[in-house]
Amino acid sequence: MSRSLLGRRLANPSSVLLLSTLVSYAVAFITGAIQARLLGPVGRGELATAVVPATLIALLATFNTQDYFANRSAVGDDPRRLVRESAGISLVLGAVLVPVYVLAVSVIHDPLSHVWWIFVGYALVLPLTLFTTNTVWIATGRERWATVAWSRMLPGLLLALGLGIAAFLGAGVLGVGATVVVTGTLGPLLALAWARMIPLGRPSLTALGAAWRFGLKAWPASTIWLFSQRIDALLVTVIATKDEVGFYVVAVSIASVLMAVSNAIGLPARNFAAQGNFVAVRKRFAISLVATAAAGCVLSAVIPFLVPVVFGAAFEPVNQIAWILIAAQVPLAGATVLSFALVGSGHPSRPLVAVTLGLATAVGAIFGLYPVLGVEGIAVASLLGAVVTFICLLVEAQRISHVFSLRRSTRNQSAADAAER
């Protein structure tokens, strides 16, 4: 391949995002294996009891303000001003939420236990986590794909280094948990600092209010969407034994490799939708489904050989769980693109019904199937919820806007756009 052709390929956002996401998920797979080897099924389950809910809390705590920053950045607002506003709203939210966070954790978990300390660590870095989340989306809106790529790769690369040190020192659950918290916070900060996306000056209170109002419109749908994607991993930490939790989170880490494909292909759909380029949205929707299914077939074939070699013989029950979760990634890929497109096109609350039905399906199925099938039943419930969400999102997208119809020509699309306006 010529140098100019290679340059053009790497300049393509899908190529950059796919490469960085593949690297980040590959590293996550390796670090997950290291954690499993260091801690065993029970210790890995104990770690997940803190990490899974804490990660979800950090995403919910943005109150979806990242959608405001992504949209304003995509339409050309000054990124320096947006970064200031990102810092401002992150500090305000952090000041309010951190004390509540620590108090709630102290009520639910035994103070000074391993799980409690890991939760407190996540609470203390929450303002920084909110800032990096919002600001990476500013970079996304400006199509600064290299910054987005490094913000994805650096946490995993730093975690791999940190886990190597932890293994040398013989660290247990608490040491590994501290490493996860620190590297997950530091990685995106380093990427943003390198891109000079640092807050300078005082943010406008009016702009903070605008970000808050925009985010709240989409927050109910986004909250349900997050729960619909992670409810299985969340509930397994509540209803399953620690070794079952360990098996399940390892299976999730394997199946999540496929999210590299759907996210890399689907992420630019938000910008395309914001710019009115729905032909590109439909193309990415189709490619995401096909690519995820093809990659899933390959991954499923190697799992019986992969798990005992990488994670150890103790994790053999992971195989069946992983196969089911891999199947769930196909409808999730389509749902991800549709959700990005709906939010980017100015309909942030439209996915609410679809994700609510998907979440209700998953929760009902989890409590119905777990007593019968164990953790495999939770995986089946996740698959059912993903299918319901995908079907409902597709129907909703076509119903509210002709531009998402897979059967219409570009001419019909333009006419529909004009009619809506």
Which ranges constitute the DSSP H helices of 142-241? 145-169, 173-194, 205-239
Are 417 and 359 spatial neighbours (Cβ–Cβ below 8 Å)? Answer: no
CA distance 176 to 172: 6
- CB 275, CB 73: distance < 8 Å: no
Count CB atoms within 10 A of the CB of residue 395.
Answer: 12
What are the tens digits of pLDDT across the range 23-78? 887 888 889 889 998 999 989 999 998 998 998 899 889 888 988 898 888 888 88
How far is the first Cα of the chain from the last one, in angstroms, to the nearest whole number?
46
- For the residues of 104-119, what is the DSSP string, one character each? HHHHHS-TTSHHHHHH
Helix intervals (H) in 311-374:
318-344, 352-373
Mean pLDDT, range 214-227, rounded to an integer: 79
Mean residue pLDDT of the chain comes to: 84
CA dihedral 224, 228, 233, 235 (to 10 degrees): 70
Q: Where are the domains of the chain?
A: 9-420
Q: Is the pLDDT of residue 421 over 50?
A: no
Averaged pLDDT for residues 322-340 = 90
> What gap in Å lies between CA 335 and CA 332, rounded to an integer?
5
Asked whether the beta carbons of 138 and 86 are under 8 A apart, the reply is: yes
Mean pLDDT of 135-159: 90
- Encode pLDDT of 94-141 as tens digits: 999 999 999 999 988 888 889 999 999 999 999 999 999 999 999 988
Helix axis angle, 205-239 to 242-255, nearest 10°? 120
More confident residue, 153 or 406: 153
Residue 7: what pLDDT? 44
With a cut of 90, say whether residue 323 has pLDDT above it: yes
Confidence of residue 316 (pLDDT cuts 50, 70, 90): confident
Please choose, from the candidates 242, 246, 175, 234, the residue with its C-alpha nearest in 3D space to the C-alpha of residue 362: 234
pLDDT at 407 over 60: no
Q: Give the number of C-alpha atoms closer than 13 A to the C-alpha of residue 13, restricted to the C-beta side.
A: 21
Answer yes or no: is pLDDT of 20 > 90.
no
Burial of 23 (0-12, 13-18, 19+ CB in 10 A): middle
